[in-house]
Amino acid sequence: MDTAFRFGRRSVMIDGMGDWKDELRTQLIDARPQLDLDIGVKEQLAAGRLLRLSAAHAIADDYFLQLPVHQRHWLRAFCIGSAARKAVVTGRASAYLNGMWVANTPLDTVHLILKSTPPPAQWPAGVQYIRADLGAGDIISGTNLSTTSLFRTFMDIARFDGFLHALVAADYLVKFKDFTPDSLQRKVATSKRFRGIAAARRAAEYCSTRPDSAPESYARALLIADGYTDIQANVEIYAGGRRYRVDIIIDGWLVIEIDGAVKYDGETFGKTDDVLRKEKRRENDLTNAGKRVLRFPPYDLEHNPAQFLKLVRDAYNRGP
């Protein structure tokens, strides 16, 4: 593989480069079929030790599979988008490339927009082309590829992935970008109708600046879709003489915490034993104050939402 051309020194694209993104790009192998590929690359492609991420890109299978889910999705979106340079990446793939919040559920399809699309028989696996003529305001142009604007990305997420993912994107727009809940609702209301507009309107209706992460927004979306009505995000609770901020609380008593593994890595939030002791004291204080506490890691929430909802429903039905 040493003789294969790597893409790691290409110029900056959407959302900038640096840290893990630069590292991922250095691992890419130029595997375009029209090139006279090195025999070693050909053999590894044939043996399945190299995984094709696009018509132009391959990567070592074992390296790719050990990456965190969000990095795998980002890399696949980057490769497909840069291989189809005339197309514009949209939907959740665009959200990854633009650094928007995204729930890391499987990314089965990367959506590309073109004025004139190739016949479906020519579409690469896992790619769907959309025929559309975008205005300049709907496109973010980069050196390697282009994506839809953040608002158009949100609208296409609603179109292709529905309310759950649209709310995650909506929360990001009102928390970090030049939207308020009211202005986002107005912009959606005045947009052209399309399949999925109802999901976009509902996401704009429920969007909030209070969640602190994509998993929190996704959990909230799941709860709203399941029929819960009194849901508050990032609320302060006074318990045991201390103030605690909880991720989500339902009906004022059922607390849901979304805890990533980084919380217990022994570095980010301090020593693991100290973190566990603080969490135990926190849970005891909340329980003694009449709250019930449920904890979920983001991966379980995103990859088994039905189990998440079942556990919440079981606790809710038991009462405080």
Q: Left if phi > 0, otherwise alpha if psi is -120 to 50, otherwise beta: which for 82?
A: alpha
CA quadruple 103, 105, 110, 112: dihedral positive or negative?
negative
Q: Which residues pair with 248 in a beta bridge?
A: 233, 256
User: pLDDT digit string (tens) for 165-177?
Assistant: 999 999 999 999 9
What is the per-residue pLDDT for 268?
42
Going by the DSSP 8-state scheme, the letter that residue 17 receives in this structure is -
Quick one: pLDDT at residue 240? 83
CA distance 213 to 258: 9
DSSP state of 6: B
Q: What is the domain partition of the chain in residue ranges?
A: 214-318
The DSSP code for 144 is S
3-state secondary structure of 250: strand
- Alpha carbons 35 and 143: distance in angstroms, whole number: 22
pLDDT band at 2 (very low <50, low <70, confident <90, very high): very low
Average pLDDT, the chain: 88
Edge-to-edge strands of the sheet including 127-131? 127-131, 110-114, 88-90, 146-148, 139-141
Least Cα distance to 99 among 155, 177, 32, 162 occurs for: 177
What is the pLDDT, as a whole number, of residue 20? 92
Assess whether pLDDT exceeds 50 at residue 269.
no
Tokens coding 27: 């691992």
Using DSSP's 3-state secondary structure scheme, residue 275 falls into helix
pLDDT-based confidence at residue 5 (cuts at 50, 70, 90): very low
Domain 214-318 has CATH 3.40.960.10: yes
Q: Does the pLDDT of residue 40 top 90, yes or no?
A: no
Whole-number percent of the chain with pLDDT over 90: 71
Residue 116's SS3 state is: coil
- Pairing state between β 88-90 and 146-148: parallel
pLDDT band at 310 (very low <50, low <70, confident <90, very high): very high
Residue 306 has pLDDT above 80, yes or no: yes
Q: In the structure encoding, which two tokens stand for residue 315, read together?
A: 């606790």
High-pLDDT (> 70) share of the chain, %: 88
Strands (E), 214-267: 231-239, 242-250, 254-258
Distance, in Å, from the CA atom of 249 to the CA atom of 320, rounded to the nearest integer, reads 12
Is residue 179 over pLDDT 90? Answer: yes
Mean pLDDT calculated for residue range 106-117: 96
**Coil, helix or strand at residue 4:** coil
Most confident by average pLDDT, 29-43, 196-210, 280-294? 196-210
Distance CA 86, CA 144 (A): 10
Query: What are 62-93's pLDDT values in tens digits?
Result: 999 999 999 999 999 999 999 998 999 999 99
Sort 267 into a burial class: Cβ within 10 Å, 0-12 / 13-18 / 19+: exposed
| Segment 233-249, tens digit of pLDDT | 999 999 888 899 999 99
pLDDT above 50: residue 270: no
